[in-house]
Each structure stands twice: as structure tokens, then as C-alpha cells.
Structure 1
């Protein structure tokens, strides 16, 4: 199992003139330290018009800075919001980032689950699935074909030589956020890796993995490269003191849950329910329920932390147990959001340290033992 970091650049209020800048500079310091502690990757989301939750509208620029402060860890965008970009633009920027990082880039693609981020760019909700799918077909062709041209429903590209080309061949690995069966099915058929959130718990994650693996058997990637890997994204807090976990860890997860409700109240503003496309109905109904919460019977932050299946909050041993439960179902990588809203820089650094000293070495030792056992078995055959 590989370990990475995940960043939203969350900036809780009250703000001062340096609040945003401070969080970005802290993230750069945290990532440099994470590389020293053995982490394998760092991923940045892309969100727009999401105050407090995510001040991270230009993740490729932030990762360009990361590329100059690190030498080993992979750099991922999770995810490029395809319906508000053009594939030519994304291809050039990601190829440049791949060069700057000496071939360490991963590119996730998504369409966003709500209209609030789309309408300022002139994108219609009913077009997003088609745009995302066509984008995913065109992007690898731009990277791999010397002269590319395309005539599609959403993108028309006359014959052009698009430069620069990425260092990785045939192209950087492509991923997709997989939150619905339809998206997971299409992502797998396009040869994209699966990015899965932990909030739904092991049953939901297991269903996504099973569907993704099954549908990739018939994958037809445009660039000739199938990414058959997966990764789990989760929020987390690790500390040696159980009282800190019960107190501060629960407080941070409570903030995270509250912000999910605030998101739900924001992102459908001004939308007539009758105009919501069929493939967005599930997102709309989920968010309307979430926006009206919390409801009687909903799990509290303390109960969610105590359950230990949706978020990674605990001692190093508890975090190991959390990840082993997902490893058993086939999860290969995990991306940890440790810079949760109110978390102070020193708290984030402590979580990174706990993972670097205890959690990551545990899985590395396990892998080495399994490899040695395989070598011994082969020698005895």
C-alpha cells in the first residue's frame, strides 16, 4: 500500500490578509516534510467559489511549486474539472508540469457534482457527462499524437502539433473520481484509474472497486494505456494520546461534517428542481437531505470517529487497522487529508510524523516480508 497526501487548502474564518497565503505556504512545508517521511504522492483538488472549504482553484500552479521543493513524490490533480476547461489547455499545462517534475504527474478527471462551480463558466449541467467523457478521450490523444485533430460534439480541434509533450510515455496516468455507478462504469471503460472517497464506508468502496475491476476488462483507452489502479481518499488525524483523538480529532471531523452540510446549502442555490438532469437527481436529493440536517438519528462526529470506518482518526495502531481493512478489499493507495480546516500547522505535521514513524513503516515491513516469503517459496519449488 502506498501513502499520499490530499489537499483542499481549507481556510476557516475569521480571515486576515494572510490567511490564504499562510495555508498555501504551510502546505508546501508539509509536503516537503512528507517526502522525507516516506510518503509517495500528494494530490490537490480543484474547486471554485468554495470559500472556507477549498481555496484551491489553480492546483497545477501549486503543484509546480511543489515540484521544485521535492524530488521523488508523485504529483496529482484530483480532479481537473473537465467541463470548465479545454483539453488543449489542460494538455499543455499538465505536460509542462510533468517536465518540471521530471515525470511525476498523475491527472484525475471529473465533472463536479453540482452547478455552482459550472454556471459562471457558461457550462450547462446536462452537458457535463458528455464533456467529461469526450475530454477523457481527447486528452491522451493530444499527448500521444504528433498531429492531433478532433471533431466532436463539444470540442473541435483542427490539425495541430500540440507542445510540449509530457515526459511520461505514453502519457501521465489518468484517473477519475468514482462516486456513482455510471461514472465508475464509464471511467473503467475509458481505462481510467479509480479515485474513491471513504465517507461511504467499506461497503460503498467495495462496490466501486468491484464494478471498476469488472468493467476494465473491456477497456478501450484512447491513448492505449489502461490505469488499472485505485486509491482511497480520506480525512485523518493521528496522535499517540487517545484523549487528543477523542477531543481534537472529533472536533476536526465535526468541522468537516458541518462543512459538508454548508456545501450542500450553497451549491444548488437558484436551481429549479424541475431542471435537474436525471443523472444529477441522486446528487441533488443527497444534497437537499444533507442541507436540511443534521436529522434525528444522524451519527454525531463522536459516533463517526468511534465507528472507525469512514475517516482515519486514531492512534498509529488504530490508523493501521483502518487502512488494513481497506487493503483487504483491494485498495492500493491512500490519500490523507490531514490539513482539515481548523487543524494547526503543528497538528498536521504531527499527523505526518506519526504516519512516517509508525504507519508507513508497518506496511513497508509487511510488503518486504511478503516479498521475502515469495522468494523463499520460489526457491523451494
Structure 2
């Protein structure tokens, strides 16, 4: 099993007994390049950047990061741009893979995204992992002028355009939402045939779409007591859809994001009953990570709880995971026929 890190470019995370929250974090407490360099030195597999164009002051939309639907973001929220940060990190690291968690593709121009993320892959020497999703906030779609009800159709076309842009010598597309012909998109990404594209979702529809269009599935386990086998029915859905398509699921990856926090023995968080998922001592965190491996996941992207909101606390979590968790987690062999993330 590999361990990734959820970037703090949308703020430091905290949890109550039900939900995950992102705190309003000053930019000088984010420092994405510094965090990336430390994560690479500590053996993390990848760094995953969240994405939003804007955040409306209030929202009635159901936030899929929390099973309660409660929005994790504050009314006014500091957010750094994923692609820009990834470009900066790419030239200051050499091994760390760079992902999006997740790019809200449908309200952007897919050719522009194909260009931006090809650039990330080029600058990093082939380390891009593109997570895509339809998004959840209706108010944000309204702000950028794209109908929310079109998001699923647009996402499908965006994924198809990314792949054509990254593989075809002459790029053309004739869809419901995007139409163009005789376009060049060069250079191509370093990764061939194209960088991995993982689908962020937690519904049967999303699971079926993931195996149809992408190279992996990426659900979230960010709420306090998330069970690692929660989405086992979705894996079965993927298997059934793969059989219909004649596609071998052994070429498809299972990745997920989970909130986490390592503490000392005797810390109240390690003694909670029930204990929050992936929290407590290194041994307790590893128990939960092994359950994720048994549920089929070969990469768990950890969003660290840092109640102080301070960068120093995040750095301490990164160091402790690097020393106490990652070497042991690498010994876990994920269950199932899925392709393991390398």
C-alpha cells in the first residue's frame, strides 16, 4: 500500500464526531512547495491538490465530503490554485507524484485543462495523476455561468477530450457541449499513452462511469467514522460494468482519500470509543490502513487533522507518518484483482 498526502492549499483540516471541516488558513501557513519537499523526503507517494474556482459565501448544496452533507468550507475561504501549485512543486521535487482531488472539470474549458495538466506532467517528468469529478456546489456553477444539471454530460466529454488531446496528432471532437476540429495539442505528456485519470465519486453511476472512462476510482472517506468497506458495493458495480465492456479490472486502480491523525498512547483521541478512522497511535492507524488494504485500496491519500491550524502541526504529522506508518503500510498487500498503484 502507498500513502499519499492531501495538500493543505484549501486550509488545514479538523473533524468533529461527524464531519470534516477546512479551517480558514493564512497563506503563510500553507507553503505548498515546502510541504511537498518534506512529504517527498518522508516517503509519501503523492501529493493531491483540492480544486475550486470560487467559494460562495453560503450554500445549500449537499457537500459529498461529509455524509451529513454539511459544507466543509468557511464563508470566505483562502484557496490556492491547484495547477499553479503543482507547477511550482513539480520543479522542486523529483519523485513525488502530483494529483488533483479532484479537478472540477465540467465548468472549465477542456482544451485549456488539457494544456495546463500536460504542462504539469512535462515539468514533473511524468508524475501527473489527474483526479476528476463533477463537483457538488450548485452555487459555484451558477457563479461561473455553467448549468449545474449539465455537469455529468460535460464531465464525460471533458475526459474524452483530455485523452484525445494527449494522444491524437490532430485533435477533433463533436459532442453535445464541445465541438472543434483540426486542433493541435503539443507536446504530448511524458506519460504514455496518457497520465492516469481517476474518477472521484461515491455512487453507482459514478462507479460505472469510472470504469467506462477512466483508469481508477477515487471515493472519499473523510467523515469521522468511515468504514473502509463502505463502498464494496461500488466495486461490485465496477466489476459488473467491466464484464459488460469486456474490460479487465486488473488494469484499474482503487484509490481513496481518508482523514487521519497520529497521536501518542494515552492521548484522548487514541482512547476514543468508537475511535475515529485512521487516528490514534501508529499501531491504531496501521490497523485502519490494513482494513483499507483488505477493502482493495492500494493508495490512501491522507488528509491530516491539524486542530491548531498551524503549519508546524502538519509538518509534525508528515514526519511521524514517514517514520512510524509509511514503512509498515508498504507491507500491506491490497486485496482484489485491481491494479496496484506504483
Per-residue Cα deviation, 1:275-320 (whole angstroms, up to 9, x for no partner)? xxxxxxxxxxxxxxxxxxxxxxxxxxx9xx63346x3211100100
What's 1:60 paired with? 83
The structure with the greater share of residues assigned to helix is 1
What's 2:103 paired with? 80
8 Å contact 1:235–1:340 — kept in the other structure?
Answer: no
- CA RMSD for the aligned pairs? 2.5
Per-residue Cα deviation, 1:108-144 (whole angstroms, up to 9, x for no partner)? 1111122022111111121111001111122101110
What's 2:26 paired with? 20
The alignment's TM-score, normalised by the length of structure 1, stands at: 0.72
**Larger Rg, first or second structure (1 or 2):** 1
Gaps (5+ residues) in structure 2? 13-23, 58-72, 334-342
What's 2:50 paired with? 45
What's 2:235 paired with? 209
How many equivalent pairs are there?
300
Per-residue Cα deviation, 1:323-363 (whole angstroms, up to 9, x for no partner)? 01111111110001116464322221221122111211113
What's 1:234 paired with? 258
CA 1:355–1:116 in 2, change beyond 3 Å: closer, same or farther? Answer: same
Per-residue Cα deviation, 1:148-191 (whole angstroms, up to 9, x for no partner)? 11111000112111123111110000011022111111111213
Per-residue Cα deviation, 1:195-214 (whole angstroms, up to 9, x for no partner)? 11113423422222332243
Alignment of 1:252-267 (within 5 A): none
What's 2:153 paired with? 130
Per-residue Cα deviation, 1:70-116 (whole angstroms, up to 9, x for no partner)? 11010001211111111110111111111100110011111112202
CA 1:64–1:218 in 2, change beyond 3 Å: closer, same or farther? Answer: farther
Structure 1 consecutive aligned stretches of length 4 or more whose deviation exceeds 6 Å: none
Verify: 1:103 aligned to 2:126, yes or no: yes
SS for the counterpart of 2:193 is: coil
What's 2:4 paired with? 4
Alignment of 1:347-358 (within 5 A): 347-358=313-324
Alignment of 1:135-284 (within 5 A): 135-198=158-221, 199=223, 200-219=226-245, 228-243=252-267, 245=269
* Separation in structure 2 between the aligned mates of residue 10 and residue 57 of structure 1, nearest angstrom: 6
8 Å contact 1:136–1:190 — kept in the other structure?
Answer: yes
